[in-house]
Amino acid sequence: MSKTLTKIISLVILAALIIVLSTIITKKRVIVIENTPANYTTNASSIFGDPALANNIENQQINAIFLGIPGAGNSAPNLTDTLMILSINNETGKGFLLSIPRDLLVRVPGKNFYTKINSLYQEGGIDSVKTILREISGLDFDYDFVIDLKGVEKIIDKLDGIDIFVENEIYDPAFPGSNNSYELFRLEKGQHHLDGETAVKYIRTRHDPTGDFARMRHQQQILLALQDKISSLNPLWNSATILSLWQISAEHFKTNLSIENIKSAWEMLKNIDLDKLEFHVLDQASELVIPDHTILGGQTAYILRPKNGLNNYSEIKDYINNLIK
């Protein structure tokens, strides 16, 4: 395997790992105001994507969507409790990663009812997610990546674990276990070497005063740890590991990135320095979204909404536009 090919493979894997799944396996599925239309289908492509996808490397600004799902074997396998937007300036290599809160209430594209944004992929597929994220951000998206929870665990284990500094002790006595049970999850403050199972728990737990926002920051922290591990792989001595990572990706990733445009992705990714990538969270501290409650499916549900009201994304668009460099 050539040095160039191993770099391409590892960087494409790294791009997909930006979603670094953090899913809460919910005890009840997200409720919508009316029944899901029967013609809604999930239409994310396979790992090798659509061969007809245009070569977007000529664009100065490259935008991508990263989604995380629990995957098969879970009660709600396609809820996207991880939603991230990546935007990179193709000339400067500078960019940002923005985490979108799963509880953001949005209008289902083309319909007259609302749901939480984390159910859109489950209900309408990747096109539905792209449509609403385009409305929220004002961006057009070139690439999309979806990865399931088991894939993250396998990748971390294949890398022999990752090193994480836990800023605050985690004590979660109600972490979701098997068969709708609960278990204790605890991590003391300090430096830890995490295997795949523990790392996934770290990015799933919401037992923190800031709840879901802490999870989004954990996602970004895990990303940097993965970046360190992947970038340290030697194309010669670690070629077997890199190939294994690619095989795991083929099993657990879905993307519109194809073999035909992998060179385009390489040209984009090779200039990215994640140490200089800006990380942002669309949370209450940004003053762009505020907590609220509404009735969904006859039950009171916690939601987030834009500060200026439902469907008013003008301030969010301005915020994102100021992030583009």
Which residue is associated with the tokens 């997610």?
129
Let me know if residue 237 belongs to a domain.
Answer: yes
CATH code, 111: 3.40.630.190
**pLDDT(289) > 50:** yes
41, 86 Cβ separation under 8 angstroms: no
Number of domains making up the chain: 1
For 42, 84, 171, the CA distances from 187, given in Å and listed in that order, are 36, 26, 7
Q: How far apart are CA 41 and CA 315, in angstroms?
A: 32
Let me know if residue 184 belongs to a domain.
Answer: no
**Dihedral angle at the C-alpha atoms of 199, 205, 209, 213, nearest 10 degrees?**
80
Sign of CA dihedral 14, 73, 23, 123: positive
For 37, 130, 138, 147, 285, the CA distances from 249, given in Å and listed in that order, are 31, 22, 30, 8, 34
Let me know if residue 170 belongs to a domain.
Answer: no
Q: How far apart are CA 321 and CA 325, in angstroms?
A: 9
Let me know if residue 20 belongs to a domain.
Answer: yes
Give 274 or 134, the one with higher predicted confidence.
Answer: 134
Kindly give, in sequence order, each residue whose CB lies less than 8 Å from that of residue 5, ignoring residues fewer than 6 positions away. Answer: none
Which residue range is the domain that position 62 belongs to?
A: 3-159+195-323
Q: pLDDT tier at 287 (50, 70, 90 boundaries)?
A: confident
Report phi then psi at 178, rounded to 5. -75, 155
Mean predicted lDDT score pLDDT of the chain: 75
Let me know if residue 89 belongs to a domain.
Answer: yes
Q: How far apart are CA 284 and CA 286, in angstroms?
A: 5
How many residues can be counted in the chain? 325
Q: pLDDT tier at 133 (50, 70, 90 boundaries)?
A: very high
Among 262, 111, 145, 281, smallest CA distance to 213 is for: 281
Average pLDDT over residues 129-151: 91
Let me know if residue 149 belongs to a domain.
Answer: yes
Let me know if residue 77 belongs to a domain.
Answer: yes
DSSP string across 248-274:
HHHHHEEES--GGGHHHHHHHHTT--T
Specify the pLDDT at position 261: 63
Let me know if residue 188 belongs to a domain.
Answer: no
Q: How far apart are CA 71 and CA 66, in angstroms?
A: 15
Specify the pLDDT at position 189: 92
41, 82 Cβ separation under 8 angstroms: no
